[in-house]
A = this chain, B = another copy of it.
Amino acid sequence: MEPAFENIQAKGVTLPEQAAEQISKLIVEQHLTCEDKLPSEFELAEMLGVGRGTVREGVKLLVARNVLEIRRGKGTYIAPNPGEIPDPLGFVYYPDQFRLALDLAEIRLQMEPWVARMAAERATAEDLKNLREACRVVEQDIVAERDHSKNDVLFHVAIAECTHNLVVPKLIPIITYAITLFVSLTESRLKAQTLVDHREILDAVCGQDGDRAAKTMERHIQYNKAMLEELVAELERGKTAEG
């Protein structure tokens, strides 16, 4: 089964890059998982017919891409979620973070009410237990006046996990990228609203009420989007006043 992604350096691929490609193929073909140790540098060099230096550089590439991980005193293993990296679309390098946040809000508004509906329809008792816990952790953060942004993302991921779709929980950290930026810029009124909204979404999912879950999620994201638009408008006015 051919991988569907093209190699980024299809032309002029370096030797370490080729070794990384071969090792990656080995992982795929032999169905290696995070419980599996990678063959030794010596064995890999034999298998791939390249020098140990090339293998070492190839392994470094795959460690940088989170396909492999080095466990201290144990050796090199397949990573738990191989090939999954933080900020996979390089959002941190986008010059206009507000434009990015607004475009993400547009996507969230389309995706997340649908995700909440599926969550309500498909969640198991175990899923609901995890979701309740995820909700509680955000509430604790807000009450203790800690930054709740990371746990807020995890609450939305917990909803996505209720869908049992393999990919939806992976998309949530991407489309909620702006939450951290946003939380640090908005005031406590957003926090109070978050408490109320999350609790209502939780109740709807637990009650297997897909319509209500979708509607509540929509309202939650609409509210966040409106706050963001307000913030951007304020900043625009500020710029105009300065200029």
Which residues of A approach B to under 8 Å, CB–CB? 1-8, 12, 24, 27-28, 31, 33, 60-61, 64-67, 72, 81-95, 97, 99-100, 103-104, 106-107, 110-111, 114, 149-150, 165-168, 170-171, 173-175, 177-181, 184
Q: Is the CB of B87 within 8 A of A5?
A: yes
> What are 24 A-to-B residue pairs whose CB atoms are below 8 Å?
A1-B181, A3-B180, A4-B92, A4-B177, A4-B178, A5-B92, A5-B173, A6-B150, A8-B85, A28-B92, A65-B65, A81-B90, A83-B87, A83-B88, A83-B89, A83-B90, A83-B92, A89-B167, A99-B166, A103-B168, A104-B167, A106-B165, A107-B171, A111-B111
A72 / chain B contacts, CB cutoff of 8 Å: 12
How many copies of this chain sit in the oligomeric assembly? 2
A82 / chain B contacts, CB cutoff of 8 Å: 90, 93
A167 / chain B contacts, CB cutoff of 8 Å: 89, 100, 103-104, 107, 174-175
A93 to chain B, nearest CB (A): 4
Contact for A90 among B2, B64, B84, B114, CB less than 8 A:
B84
Q: Complex: how many Å from CA A184 to CA B2? A: 9
Contact for A4 among B65, B170, B179, CB less than 8 A:
B179
Q: Complex: how many Å from CA A133 to CA B229? A: 36
Q: Is the CB of A4 within 8 A of B107?
A: no
Q: Complex: how many Å from CA A81 to CA B177? A: 17
Q: Is the CB of A110 within 8 A of B114?
A: yes
Q: Is the CB of A3 within 8 A of B87?
A: yes
Contact for A86 among B6, B33, B97, B111, CB less than 8 A:
B6
Q: Complex: how many Å from CA A65 to CA B5? A: 15
Contact for A93 among B83, B92, B111, B181, CB less than 8 A:
B83
Q: Complex: how many Å from CA A104 to CA B92? A: 26
A32 to chain B, nearest CB (A): 9
Given contacts A2-B180, A28-B93, A83-B93, 13 further A-B contacts (CB under 8 A): A1-B97, A3-B87, A4-B181, A12-B72, A27-B93, A28-B92, A60-B64, A65-B85, A67-B90, A83-B91, A83-B92, A107-B167, A167-B175
A86 / chain B contacts, CB cutoff of 8 Å: 5-8
Q: Complex: how many Å from CA A3 to CA B104? A: 15
A10 to chain B, nearest CB (A): 10
A84 / chain B contacts, CB cutoff of 8 Å: 88-90
